[in-house]
Structure 1
Amino acid sequence: MSPQLLLFAEPLVASGLLRLLAEHFDDLETVDDPSLLKGAPTLVLWRPAAGTTGESLRRETLLLRERWRPAPLLVLLPPGHGVAASTLLELSAHGLLEAPSPEELLEAIRTLRAGGRVLQLQTGAALRPEGEAPQPLGLGQHLLVSGLEQIEATRALCQRLLDPPPSQPLQRWALEGRLRELACARQLLLLLWGPLSLAWELPESGAPASASASVTPGPGAESRGGILTLQQRNAAGIWQAVRQRLEAAIATGLENRSGQLLAIEGLHPERCRDLLLALLDQLESLRGQLAADAEGADALLERWLACQPQLREQALRAMASPYVQLPRQGMLEPVSRTLIASSDLTVIDPELPDLQPMLATLVLAQPLLVDGQLVPADELRAVLHLERLVANWLVRTAELLAADVLACCGSWPELRRYLLRSDLLATRNLERLRNQLNAQQRWGDLFERPIAIYESRRQLLCVDSGRIGAVNLLEPRDGELQRLGPLQQLVTLALETRDAVAPQLRQLVQSLGNLVVVLLTEVVGRAIGLVGRGIVQGMGRRTGRP
C-alpha cells in the first residue's frame, strides 16, 4: 500500500493540486476525501480559502493537527491573505508556505516527508487582519509617530539624492549634514516622548509590524522573506538552517540600518564579509566541540567563555590571512599576528543577553523561551528567535574586533589600504570615525544604557535581507540595574522622577487651564459686557437729546 496525502482545499484549487502531485510523486497517492484513506495519511495538506481570519487559521490548524496526528501538516496560504506574521508564526503547523511556486511546494513536501520543517513568508505578510481596528494613540505617541514619519520621509529623500552622490561637494556635504540633523532630531523625539520601544509602533500602513508581543523591531525587521527549511529537527539541523540564512544575508553585503554608527562600517566590504563568515565558521567549530563533549547545560556557558579568546583569534587570522605581510617602519610584519597581539580578545559586550538559552538550543536542542512561552527548538518561532540571538552575537563580536582593527590601523598607515575603506586612508577621516565611535560609546554607557536597563529593553542587532537592523527585546534587567554606577543611577532616578511628577504636573496644568477659562468667561467676559452695555446706553441718551 502506497503512502497517502490528504488534501483539503476548494474544488478548483484541489483539482490543480491533484494533477500537480500526481505528475511528480509516483510513490504518493493524493486523496481529497478522508473516506478514501486506507489508513493514516503520510501528510496533510490544507489550503484555506481566501478571507480566512487569523483566529480561524489558528483553530483549524490545531484541529487538523489533533485529528491526523502524527502526520505533519502543511498549510498553503493564498496571496493577500491579510494575516499578521506574528499570528502565522504561532500556527501549530509543520510547514507554512505563502503563495508558493510549484517547485517550492514540491520541495516542501519532500522535506516534510523526510521529517523536516518549512517556512516561507513573503515580505508583506504582516498586514492588519481584516476587521481589526487600529489602536488609538495618545498625545505623546501621536507626536512621536508623526515626527518619526516626517523624519523618515525626509531621510529617504536625502538618501535618494545621495545615490549616486552629487558631483558638487557643497551639495553632498549639505545632504550629509541634513542626515545627521535628522538622526539627532529622531533621538530628541525619543528622549522627549517616550521609550525607544515606541519608536516603530506605527500604523500598519506606515511602518513594519511587530513580530511578537515582546519584540519591537526597527525598520526592515519584518521583511524576513525567503525559505526557512529544517532538514533535520535536531540541534545539527537547526544550526544548519540558521547558518544558511545568515550566510545568504551576509554574502549580498550588509547595509547599516540599526540607527547607530558601527565599527564594521569602516572595514573594506570584503574584509567585513570575511570577518563575519570567519566568526560563523568558528561558531560552528565550537558548537561541534561542545556537542561532542556531551556536557550538561550548566557547563556550556563556562566552556563557551573560556573558548572566546581563541575563537576571536582564529577569526582575526582568517580575516587578515595568515600569510599576508606589509611594510611597517621599513620592515615586513605579518598582519594577522600584529592584529592579534594588539587586540583585547577577552573584552565582553555588556549588551549581550544571557547566552545560556542560545547555547542550550544550539548544542542540546533544548526549548527556547519566546514571548514568555517555552517553545520546542524545532518550532519555527524558536528557530527565528534563535537566528536573532546568533546574529546579535555575530555582529557585536565583529564590532569588538573591528574596533581593535581601526585602532591598529591608526598606528600602521600601510594597513589601511588592505583592511579599510578607501575614504579612510586619510588620517583625518580615520580619526574622526574613531572619535565618533568613542563618543557614541560614552554617550551610550552614561545615558542610553541606563535608560534601556530601567525600561527592561535590550537591543539586538540582527542580520536580514542584506541589512543590519535593530530589534528591542523586552526582558527583566533588575540585576544590571543594581550594578549601575552613581552617575548612571542618577539618570534612572531622573526618569523615575519624571514618571512620578508627570501626572501631578499634568493635573496642575489642566487645573490652571480651567481656572483661566473661568476667569476669561465669568469675570473678564462679563466685565467687558457691562462696559459695552454702558457705552451703548450712553450713546443712546446722547443721540436722543433735541
Structure 2
Amino acid sequence: MTQAKIKLFIVDHDSIFRLGLRTAIAQYADFEIVGEGNLSEDTLRELTQGMVLNVLVLGISYTESESGLKLTRQLRQLYPQLPLFLLTPNLATKQIAKLKSWGVRGNCDRGASVNSIVEALYAVAYGNTYWSTNDVTPQLWQQALANISQSGRIELEQTLQEIEQKLANPNLSDWERVFLVGRKRELQSARWLSSRLVGEEIVLKESANLEPVDGAIVPIAPTELACLPEFADSANKTIFERVVTDIQMGLNNRTKIPLEIDLLQPAIAKSLCHLILQRLSETIAQIPIAKTLDRDYTAYLEELWQWSTAYFFSQHYGSNEKQLQLEEIYRLELTTVQQNIFNDLYGIAELFDYLLGKPGLVIDNMVYQSDNPEAIARIEFLLHNLIIHLANGVIQVILNNFYDLEVFKYKLYKAECRSDREIARFRNQLSWRYRQENYFTHPQNIFESRHRLLVINAGVIRTIYVYAPRKTELDELTGIPWFSTIVIEIRDAIAPIVRKLIALVGSGVVFVLTQVIGKGLGLVGKGIIQGIGSTIKDIPRNNKKP
C-alpha cells in the first residue's frame, strides 16, 4: 500500500524564497506542496477555503518579525490542531519558549541546509518537535550552579505553565486576572535572573522523539481545514470575508454582559454566525433598489432571523414534528425578540444602504467615501453587532422553547452548561440582564446620546460606544426608564457638591489629626521623654577614685 504524502503549505513574504523552498522540497517524493502565500490577510482567506494539511510552514525574516509573529498567533487561534513549523533567524532558548507556549511544533534557521529543513519537517509531520537554537555554552561554575538549582527552576516553569492555563480561562474575574498577571511577572523576573546566572534556561521534558521507521510509524493524521462561507463576487465580498475571519478567530465574551451564544460550544457559535452572515449576503442581493428610498428593512431583518432559526434548528435536530411547531413559535417569540434584540440594533439603515451600494457613509456628521478606512471599519463594526444579536435571537428561541432537549445539550451546549441547574441559572441571568437593560442601561445610553455595539476583536467580543443624537427617544421615555434618567441627572447635579463636601471634611480630619491630635501627642511624648531624662540625671552614680 502506497503511503500518503506529507502535505505542506508554505507562507513567506519573499516569493523568491518560497520558489526556492518549493523547488528544493520537490526533490523529496514524500512531500507535496498544496499551496503557498505571503504574510497577509489573503493567505488567511485562502486557508479558510478548505484544504487538507499535515504541516504549515511559516517563514519569518528579521524585517517581518512583528507581522510574522502576529500571523503565527492568528494561525494558532484559527487552527490549534494544525502543526505549525517556522523558518526563522536563529533563536535563543527564551524565544523558543515563547513559541512553545503558543503551540508551535518547531523551528529551523532560514539559512539552514535543505537536509536539515527536510529532517525537521519529517519530525513535525510524524508528531514530534524540532528546535534549533543558538545558545552560548555556559562556563563550569554556571553548569554547577545550574545542577544545584535545577529542581527549583523546574518548579518555577511548572508554576508558570499552570498560571498560563488559568489565564486562558475566559471566565476569570478581573481580580483573579490581575493577581495572576502580577504573579506571572514576578516568576518571569525570577526566571530571567536565574537564566542569566546559570547561562541557560530550563526546558521541561517532553515526550521522547520517535525516529521514523519503515512500516512502523506513519505521519500524524492530516488536518482538514474547515471550509468557511464563500460569497458571490460583489463590492461587499472583501468586507464579508474580513468579518468571516474575525468570527473564526473566536467569540470569547469579555463584555461582562451575558449573551445567549455564551451557552454554545465555540465551533457551534462560529458556525451559527457564519450561517447568518452568508444568508445576509444573499438577502442583500435580493433587495430591490427601490427599497432604499423608504429605508425600512424591518421585514428583511425578521426574515433573516426566522430563516436562520429554522435552518439552525433543522441542522441540529431535523424533526419534522418540531419544524411544524416553529411556525407557531415564531409568532409567539417575535414580540420578545423585537423587544430584546431588534430594538437594541443600531445603524441597520446605514448598514443596508452601504451594502446595497449607496455612496458615502455619515460618521459623526461627516461624510466618508465608501472605500475610506473609517467607513469600512464602521461597517464591519455594524456587521459584528448585527450578527451577534441575530445569533442571540436564534438561541433565545431555543432556550425559551427547547432548552431541555437532550440532543441540544450534547450537540450545542458547553459541557459545563448541560445540567438543568446550570441551564436554569443561565436563563435567569439573561432574564435579569434584559430587565436591567430595559429599565436602566437603555435609558442611560439614550440620556448620554450613545449606542452600544458588540464588536469582535482578536477573538474577543468587546463593547464600544458611538455617538448619536437621541433627543426624540429621550422625550418618549416614561415610567421607570424615565425615572432612571432623572436619577442620573440628580446624581450628576449633586456629585460636584458631594465631592467638595467630602474634600472639605477630609481636609478637616487631616487638620485635626496632624495639627491638633498630632501636636498634642508630640507634646505629651516630649514631656515623657524630658521626665525620663530628668530621672536619669537624678540617679546617684558611684564616684571612682583616679
TM-score (norm 2): 0.50
CA distance in 2: counterparts of 1:244 and 1:485, whole angstroms? 43
CA distance in 2: counterparts of 1:508 and 1:289, whole angstroms? 63
Partner residue, 2:242: 245
CA distance in 2: counterparts of 1:496 and 1:243, whole angstroms? 42
For structure 1, the 5+ residue unaligned runs are: 1-16, 21-77, 82-155, 165-174, 186-234, 327-332
1:81-480 correspondence to structure 2 within 5 Å: 160-161=165-166, 179=173, 237-290=234-287, 293-295=288-290, 297-299=292-294, 301-302=295-296, 304-321=297-314, 325-326=318-319, 333-343=320-330, 344-345=333-334, 347-348=337-338, 349=341, 350-480=343-473
1:475-494 correspondence to structure 2 within 5 Å: 475-494=468-487
CA distance in 1: counterparts of 2:263 and 2:531, whole angstroms? 83
- Name the CA shift for 1:385/1:163 in 2 (closer, same or farther; >3 Å): closer
Partner residue, 2:114: none
- Name the CA shift for 1:416/1:531 in 2 (closer, same or farther; >3 Å): closer
Deviations 1:82-132 (A, max 9, x none): xxxxxxxxxxxxxxxxxxxxxxxxxxxxxxxxxxxxxxxxxxxxxxxxxxx
- Name the CA shift for 1:405/1:158 in 2 (closer, same or farther; >3 Å): farther
> Contact 2:252–2:461 (CA<8 Å) still a contact in 1?
yes
CA distance in 1: counterparts of 2:439 and 2:516, whole angstroms? 52
Partner residue, 2:213: none
- Name the CA shift for 1:539/1:261 in 2 (closer, same or farther; >3 Å): closer
The amino acid that maps onto 2:345 is L
> Contact 2:347–2:382 (CA<8 Å) still a contact in 1?
no
CA distance in 2: counterparts of 1:257 and 1:538, whole angstroms? 65
CA displacement at 1:394 relative to structure 2: 0.9
- Name the CA shift for 1:444/1:528 in 2 (closer, same or farther; >3 Å): same
CA displacement at 1:388 relative to structure 2: 0.6
- Name the CA shift for 1:379/1:417 in 2 (closer, same or farther; >3 Å): same
CA distance in 1: counterparts of 2:313 and 2:533, whole angstroms? 100
The amino acid that maps onto 1:161 is K
> Contact 1:275–1:316 (CA<8 Å) still a contact in 2?
no
CA distance in 2: counterparts of 1:361 and 1:379, whole angstroms? 12
CA displacement at 1:437 relative to structure 2: 1.5
> Contact 1:322–1:337 (CA<8 Å) still a contact in 2?
no
Partner residue, 1:34: none
CA displacement at 1:536 relative to structure 2: 11
Deviations 1:131-190 (A, max 9, x none): xxxxxxxxxxxxxxxxxxxxxxxxx997732758xxxxxxxxxx96x638769x9xxxxx
CA distance in 1: counterparts of 2:485 and 2:401, whole angstroms? 36
- Name the CA shift for 1:236/1:532 in 2 (closer, same or farther; >3 Å): same
1:52-71 correspondence to structure 2 within 5 Å: none
Q: What SS does the corresponding residue of 1:258 show, helix, strand or coil?
A: coil
CA displacement at 1:384 relative to structure 2: 1.2
CA distance in 2: counterparts of 1:402 and 1:538, whole angstroms? 81
- Name the CA shift for 1:160/1:515 in 2 (closer, same or farther; >3 Å): same
- Name the CA shift for 1:393/1:241 in 2 (closer, same or farther; >3 Å): same
Deviations 1:373-419 (A, max 9, x none): 21011112211111111111111111111111122223544443344
What is the total number of aligned residue pairs between the two structures?
A: 329
CA distance in 2: counterparts of 1:525 and 1:323, whole angstroms? 74
- Name the CA shift for 1:413/1:485 in 2 (closer, same or farther; >3 Å): farther
The amino acid that maps onto 1:246 is V
CA distance in 2: counterparts of 1:434 and 1:533, whole angstroms? 68
The amino acid that maps onto 1:464 is N
Q: CA RMSD in A?
A: 4.4
Percent of aligned positions with the same letter in both sequences? 25
